[in-house]
Structure formats: C-alpha cells, structure tokens
A and B are shown apart, each in its own frame.
Chain A
Amino acid sequence: MAYHRYDAVIVGAGGAGLMAAIQLAGHANIAVVSKLYPPRSHTGAAQGGISAALGNTEEDHWEWHMFDTVKGGDYLVDQDAAEVLSREAIDAVIELEHMGLPFNRTPEGKIDQRRFGGHTRNYGEAAVRRACYAADRTGHMIIQTLYQQGIKHNVNFFDEYHLLDILFTDDGACCGVVVYEIKTGELHTIHAKTVLIASGGYGRVFKITSNALAGTGDGVAVAYRRGIPLMDMEFYQFHPTGLYKLGILLSEAARGEGGILRNNDGEAFAERYAPTLKDLAPRDMVSRFIHQEVKEGRGIDGKDYVLLDVSHLDPDVIDQKLPDVTDFARVYLGVEPKTEGVPIQPTAHYAMGGIPTNIEGQVIYDPQTSVVPGFYSAGESACVSVHGANRLGTNSLVDLVVFGRRAGRHMLQHIQESDFLPLPPNPEDVARAELDALLSRDSGERATNIRAEMQEMMMDNVSVVRHEPGLIEARDKLAELRNRYDSVYVQDHGKTYNTDLLEALELGAMLDCADTIVHGALARQESRGAHYREDFEARDDKEWLAHSLIYRTDEGLQLRKKPVSITRFEPKERKY
C-alpha cells in the first residue's frame, strides 16, 4: 500500500471541493481525490442559476435573499449561516466571473439575472430576478471554470480514487483518509493535517432521481460509520419537474422564464395553491401540489404525471435560455417543447441533510457545536444548515462556492497553526477488511436486487408524502436489505477497474444514508418543508423547531436535537 502526506486532502472534486482547493493552492500542499474525473462531478448537472443579490436588473438586497432562504427552509435554517450565504454570495459570484465563468449578460454587459422559485423582493411581495446564469448550464460552467482554475494552480488531482475510510487520532482529531485506486485496486493512505469531505449527495437511494449514478453518499456514510452524527437527514428535496419515469432534471428556470405546470384539464393548477408565486413557489410545495393533483385524478390520463408547458414562450427564449432542458425532452421523450407539454413528475434531487458543520465548514459532533479538529465538510455532503427543511433553487450553487471557499480558508489557517498528528497504527485495516469481506465470497446474491428494492421502497414510502406505517415498513425493509447486503456477492474479483466492487461499496453507503433518512422521518412527528407527514400535517415549532442529529451507536440509531439559530426572522406560517 502507498503512503502520501499532504497538508490538506479534499475528497470530492465538485464545486465545493474545487472552490476549497483554489483557496489552498499555492499556500499549502494539497490533494484532491475523486472517484470521477473532476469535470464529471454532479455540480455540472446544475442548470438554472446561482443566486446573488447583485441587483443588476432590478432592486435587490442580500437581506431579502436571506429572508427567502430562511422562509424557503421553513424556518429550520440557521440564520447566522443564511446571513453568511446571502451576503457572501455577491462577492463569490463576482469571483467566479473574474475566474472566467461565462455568464449571460445584460445589454450593459453586466451579469444577467432571472427569476427562480421562492426568490422574492421585499420579503415576499413578488418574484425577483436574482439568479445569475449561463444559459441553462450554469453548473456546467461552474465546474468547468473551477477545474480550469485547479489546472492553472497545479492542484494535485487523484482522479478515480474511491474513499474507503477517514482516519482519526485517539483524541478524535482527523488525520487523513484511506482511498482505493480504482485503476489498480491499490490502497493509499493519505496522511493530512486537514480533511474536507465534499463528496456530494445520495439521490440514488431513490428510484426516480435527477442525481448521477455516482450520487451514493460515500463521504457522508463513511463519516457516519466513524461516529460523526448526521444532521436533518429526513429532509430530502423532490424537485417538481423531473422527466417522467427518468427523473432527469428540467430546470426551474423553465418556470422562471414563464413556463407553467398544467394538469389533465389543462389547468394552471399552481395558482390555486400559491396565489402569489404560483409556479414559482418553493420546490417542496410544488412537488406536493403535483402529488395532490395526481391523487385527485387530475394527472395526465389519470396517470402519475403532469405537464410542464413552455409552448407559449418566444421560441428564441427557448433556444437561447433553455437549450439543454428542451433538448432533454426531445432526446428522451420525443416531445417538442415548443409545441407540446413535457411530461414531468417529482424527482429526488437534493439532500438538505448531511455532515453537520459550523459556518467555517468545521465538522461538529454535538448539540453544543463542538468541533472535530482538522475535519471539514462543504457542499451537498454537509449540513451548515443554510437550507433547513427545504432548499431554494440556485442556493446549492451558492452554498458550494460560499462554504467551499470558507472551508478552504479556514483549513489554511488550521494548516499554518498545527502539526501533523500521528496516524493510528495500521491505518488501512478497516478499509482492507471491508474489501476482503466483499471479495471473499464465491457466490451469493449480487447488489442489483438489493439496490433496486431499496430504491423502489424509498420512493414508495419515504418520498414526497410520508406516514408512520409506511416509515415503519421502510425501517424493517432496510433491516432486511442490510442483512442481505452483509453477504452480498461481488462477481468481479479483479484488481483493474473493478466497478462491480465499487457498486457494492456504494450500495453499502446508500443503505446507511437510507437508514438515517427513515429514522429521522419516523421521529419527526410534524410536517416541515420537504418532510411532509400525512399523520402530522402541521408544523410543530414547540417540539420540532430543532435540527436532528442522528448517531450510530451499539444500541442502534440515536437522535439528539440541536437548537436552530434565529437572529433576524421569527418563525411564521409559510405562505406564497
């Protein structure tokens, strides 16, 4: 096995990981590890925009952005973090432009901005143009631009390495990672002063998802196994407009530009539920509107989908501002958006929950926000929490750049102030044992059915609408799947690009993520944001205006509550 030593190791080469890397490059010796080539990261799939109160096309203020973020998150957002997010978004977007990001432009040559769900002027009066964008491939341009900066700054990329373990000292400080070189099957221990987990989300636990096949929660699961609690896992966002049956994302930008959702009667139904923002109400709500329409028999031909209609838009707007999403409809469904509605259904999209951190990206492990020295997380794998119970569109990209940058800067400070800590003896033991177990069996059930059953069950029981019997069934099913996984059979026993082994490892991570989602959803007897309980339809601020921290212990999963930071906006009923 190989040994490396770096000041910082960053796991994940999406927006957050690369933004952190760029802060560190030139000042510290760093490694960026990813199971993909960096530009393949899922940040690249983000479409519609990145919000910042630049006020380039109409009046806007960061306080309005902060308010929308807090309200959009159904008041579970930590307001100190939301303030950082919305203040620093402005400067972060400008920094992206300075790095070369090709934003669309206004006639005056400034960054152009458009409307997006839940973003309003003057604390909810009407939709505001806040989303800075590059056609409908904003995420693509962010990942390209940041990767280019990584090349410019000579960042050491470990492309196609998979995270297996995170290393801690006896005192609980983080001191490195163990990764698996996919090309050769070799283990590498990377000894580091600081570790950043920026490994993204876990949408693949659900059957219908916009997430890449790589979105399997590896970093989140490894941290959890190592005793780090996971926060707010029950809050999983379903984006209202996924391509029917495929889940491929059709950006909210389609509605930002004027697109309308229609039911089987051709009715623009969102207006009935959200009279002010209509189709641009936050995603959790629009997904529930669709669920309700389908439930009441107004899905198209009585089926479980509705239509996204952009046919009334100027064809030039479609070609210039929505080229990719309309192409998806043509390629995958054979539908021409300029003349007909596009079949859509809610699709698993974004994890609000994850590894708990403070506003510096430092991982915390208890309700008192005690810090794990040297250990950081940012982006979708982390939970700061700026998204609370429901993330607003565009705020994931803001989160990546703002908190990726903050984490990078804080890591640099930590690197300059601290020495390398000793690695534990035989640091690769846990990783080696996991691999050996998976590769030791010569027969048995493969990962395929276990994965498919998990995805189907999570979709049926733990998606847009939940209730106790369904969640108990989910918990029991996961226990059964876990048992089967414990003797899962990997058919490929080779060392070279063993993707069969990787898929088994990824399934293990997803089962951990699913466990915590279900546990949190069962415990939280209220409805808030993306977590909607049919048996507890009201929000319960008395009991549940609190984050949930879920720990893995020898006695099973344990939940502790953590207070929400409330600085400016007292919780109110959420209406749009």
Chain B
Amino acid sequence: MEVTLRIKRFNPEQDEKPHFEEYQVDVEGTDRVLDALNQVKWIHDGTLTYRRSCAHGICGSDAMRINGRNRLACKILMKDLGKRITIEPLIGFKIEKDLLVDMEPFFDSYKAIKPYLIADDAPSAGERRQSPEERARFDDTTKCILCASCTTACPVTWTSDDFVGPAAIVNAHRFIFDSRDSGALDRLRILNSQSGVWRCRTIFNCTDACPRDIKVTDAIEQVKRALMAEQI
C-alpha cells in the first residue's frame, strides 16, 4: 500500500531549525515503521538519520514520536497507523540530526540512581539465595531497555531539566525491591531530592509509552510508598 511519511528533518550543518518533509513509500501492512524509514533512507534519501539496531523491540535504539506517541519504530506496524504518518524525534532532548536526539542526559539520569547491585560480600560458594516470590517483586522493572520512551513522554521532563524521569526511577525500583540489594536507602535519598520522584504527577504517559509494557507509573508509586514508609 502507498503511505505518506511526514518526517521531521534537521541537519545541523545546514538548517537553523527543523522542518517537515514528505515521502511516499510502498509498504505491506505488516511492515514495521522502521522498514518504511529504511525504504526512505535506502532508496530516496541517504541523509535521513535515525538510530536502529535489533529491529525487534529489544535493543531500545529506535524510540521516536510516531503520530504523536512515543513508539519503537521496529515494534509498530504500518497497518495500525493509517495512510499518513507523522514521525518526529523524541521530545525533551536536543535534536542532533533528523530523528536522532542527544541521549547523554538520559544516561546521566540513569547513572545517578546507582544502577548496579549494592550488596555485602557474596557467599564464598554458590549463588545468593532468593525465593521466586522475592524475585517476582521486581520482575517487571527488569524488562527496561533504556529506550527513553517513558522519560520523553512525561510532560514534567519537557519543562524541567533536572527531573530524573521515569526510566531512572524504574531502574532504581529494579534494585530497591531486589532482596539481595542493600543500597535502597541510598537510592531513596536520591529520589527524595528536588529532582526525584515527587515531581511525578501520575499522568500515566510513561506507562502508555513503554514498549515493554512495564507498569511504569505503578513502579513509581511503589517507590513513593517506600519513601513514605522510610520517613515514618
């Protein structure tokens, strides 16, 4: 089928500000948006720039705004989008070129919450024990692929530079609720700060945006409750 892609373009070496350009592509309904972008790049215009790698929703490279919603270009099919599709870069980060944004602030927020197991010495032989129930508590947040869909869907991040954002909180949750971890207080202190979890206004955009179906808002609420309990 013939589809029109309306793509936001920006080349920092030539343009002062972004503009839209339109491309006609011939696709199957079962094609991914990424396939359509590749068609533009490979046939019409080699300068079109975006990140991509695994092409099946696992590596987190190709989050972008598709018809106004944050989606992975490799995990949404053309048949679900209509004949005219608008594709823009994620909002809230500097556009480097076309659909590709500066991801450094995103990874900085991730690093700020100490995203690694903080634990006492491991047993001298064998694994640390953890029951299936303990493991289940943080299962959902282990699915995060750091694509930034949630963080850049959050209106709070659009207006403030210092909010750590949903993705960082999701990753803090992954460790705070891991029975093997002893860094929870440290992370909760970080998330209790100005830039932390209280900036969340429970808008649920993050949950809608997550391509891994993580209950992001839920995870944030659990962190808030943990903080309340700690304060008591």
Q: Which of B50-58, B155-163, B194-202 contacts A (4 or more CB under 8 A)?
A: B50-58
Out of B122, B131, B145, B178, which one reaches A105, CB within 8 Å?
B131
Q: Name the A residues within 8 Å of B127 (CB-CB).
A: 94, 97-98, 103, 110-111
Contact between A492 and B47, CB atoms less than 8 A apart: yes
Contact of A36 with B145 in the complex, beta carbons under 8 Å? no
Asked, given contacts A45-B54, A97-B128, whether A494 binds B47 with beta carbons under 8 Å apart, the answer is yes
How many angstroms from the CA of A31 to the CA of B157 in the assembled complex? Answer: 32
- The answer to whether A497 and B53 touch across the interface, beta carbons within 8 angstroms, is no
| Bound: A498/B48 CA distance, A | 9
A497 to B10 alpha-carbon distance, docked (Å): 12
Q: Is the CB of B46 within 8 A of A212?
A: no
A449, closest chain B residue (CB): B42
Q: In the complex, which range does the number of interface residues on chain B fall in?
A: 35 or more
Per-position contact with B for A298-342: 1 when CB-CB < 8 Å, else 0? 000000000000000000000000001000100111100000000
The answer to whether the Cβ of A565 comes within 8 Å of any Cβ in the partner chain is no
List the B residue with the shortest CB-CB distance to A36: B53
- Chain A residues, CB < 8 A from B50: 499
A40-B53, A108-B129, A331-B75 known; A140-B41 Cβ under 8 A: no
Task: Select which of B30, B46, B143 is within 8 A of A491 by beta carbon.
Answer: B46
Q: Tell me, yes or no, whether A87 is within 8 Å of chain B by CB.
A: no
**B129 — which chain A residues lie within 8 A by C-beta?**
108-110
Q: How many angstroms from the CA of A39 to the CA of B111 in the assembled complex?
A: 13
B87 to chain A, nearest CB (A): 16
Q: Considering the chains assembled together, what is the distance between the CA atoms of A102 and B107 in angstroms? A: 22
A151 engages B115 (CB within 8 Å): yes
Assess A109 versus B131: contact at CB under 8 Å? Given A44-B54, A148-B115, A151-B115.
yes
Contact indicator A134/B142 (Cβ below 8 Å): yes
Whether A491 lies near B45 (C-beta < 8 A) is: yes
- Given A45-B58, A98-B128, do A500 and B41 touch, yes or no (CB 8 Å)? yes
Q: Are B11 and A494 in contact (CB under 8 A)?
A: yes
Interface centre among A248, A334, A496 (most CB of B within 10 A): A496
Interface string of A490-515 (1 = CB under 8 A from B): 11101111111000000000000000
Contacts A446-B42, A497-B97, A500-B46; A40 near B59 (Cβ below 8 A): yes
Judge whether A495 and B13 touch: CB under 8 Å: yes
Nearest CB of B to A37, in Å: 7
**How far, in whole Å, are A37 and B138 apart by their CA atoms in the complex?**
24
Interchain CB contact under 8 A, A39 and B46: no
Q: Which residue of chain A has the shortest Cβ distance to B131 in the bound complex? A: A109
Complex alpha-carbon distance, A385 and B59, angstroms:
28
Is A141 positioned at the interface, with any CB of B under 8 Å from its CB?
yes
With a cutoff of 8 Å between Cβ atoms, the chain A residues found around residue B46 in the complex are 446, 490-492, 500
* Contact yes or no, A39 B145, CB < 8 A: yes
Beta-carbon nearest neighbor of B133 in chain A: A105
Most buried by A among B11, B12, B117, B145: B117
Report the nearest B residue to A243, measured CB to CB. B56
Given A42, A104, A213, A331, which contacts B52 in the complex, CB threshold below 8 Å? Answer: A213
- Per the CB 8 Å criterion, the residue count for chain A at the interface is 58
The yes or no answer to A107 lying at the interface (CB within 8 A) is yes
Identify the closest chain B residue to A489 (Cβ): B46
User: Do the beta carbons of A104 and B132 come within 8 Å of each other?
Assistant: yes
Which B residues, 55 to 104, have Cβ-Cβ distances below 8 Å to chain A?
Answer: 55-61, 75, 77, 96-97, 100, 103
Cβ contact within 8 Å between B117 and A99: yes
Most chain-B CB neighbours within 10 Å: which of A37, A106, A328? A37
Decide: A105 and B142 in contact? CB cutoff 8 A: no
Instruction: Please tell me if the beta carbons of B116 and A42 are within 8 angstroms of each other in the complex.
Output: no
- Given the known interface contacts A148-B115, A332-B30, the answer about A102 and B138 at a Cβ–Cβ threshold of 8 Å is yes
Expressed in whole angstroms, the Cα–Cα distance for A151 and B60 within the complex equals 18
> Hey, which chain A residues are within 8 Å of B30, CB to CB?
332-334
Distance between Cα atoms of A463 and B164 in the complex (Å): 47
Report A107 CB to chain B, min CB distance, Å. Answer: 7
B184 CB-CB contact with A under 8 Å: no
Q: Which residues of B contact A446 (CB under 8 A)?
A: 42, 46
Q: Which residues of B contact A333 (CB under 8 A)?
A: 30
Say whether A272 faces chain B, with CB atoms less than 8 Å apart.
Answer: no
Q: Is the beta-carbon distance between B59 and A497 smaller than 8 angstroms?
A: no
Interchain CB contact under 8 A, A102 and B126: no
Q: B135 interface residue, CB < 8 Å from A? A: yes
CA distance A108 to B56 in the complex (A): 35
| Whole-angstrom distance between the Cβ of B128 and the nearest chain A Cβ | 6
Q: How far is the CB of B59 from chain A (nearest CB, A)?
A: 4
Please state if B146 and A39 are interface contacts (CB–CB under 8 Å). Answer: yes
Say if the beta carbon of B24 comes within 8 Å of chain A. no
- Nearest CB of chain A from residue B31's CB, rounded to whole Å: 10
A214 at the interface (CB under 8 A from B): yes
Tell me the smallest distance from the CB of B121 to a CB of chain A, in Å. 9
Contacts of A36 in B (CB 8 A): 53, 59, 61
A102 contacts B61, C-beta separation under 8 Å: no
Q: Known A42-B54, A107-B132, A110-B127; judge A100-B61 contact (CB<8 A).
A: no
12 more CB-based (< 8 A) A-B contacts, given A332-B30, A491-B46 = A36-B59, A94-B127, A104-B132, A105-B135, A107-B131, A140-B58, A148-B116, A213-B52, A331-B57, A332-B32, A490-B46, A497-B97
> Could you show 10 A-B contacts with beta carbons less than 8 Å apart?
A39-B60, A45-B56, A105-B130, A152-B116, A214-B53, A246-B56, A492-B46, A494-B47, A497-B97, A498-B49
Closest A-B pairs by Cβ, 4 of them: A100-B117, A491-B46, A109-B129, A500-B46
Interface residues of A (CB under 8 A from B): 36-37, 39-42, 44-45, 94, 97-100, 102-111, 134-135, 137, 140-141, 144, 148-149, 151-152, 183, 212-214, 246, 248, 324, 328, 331-334, 446-448, 490-492, 494-500
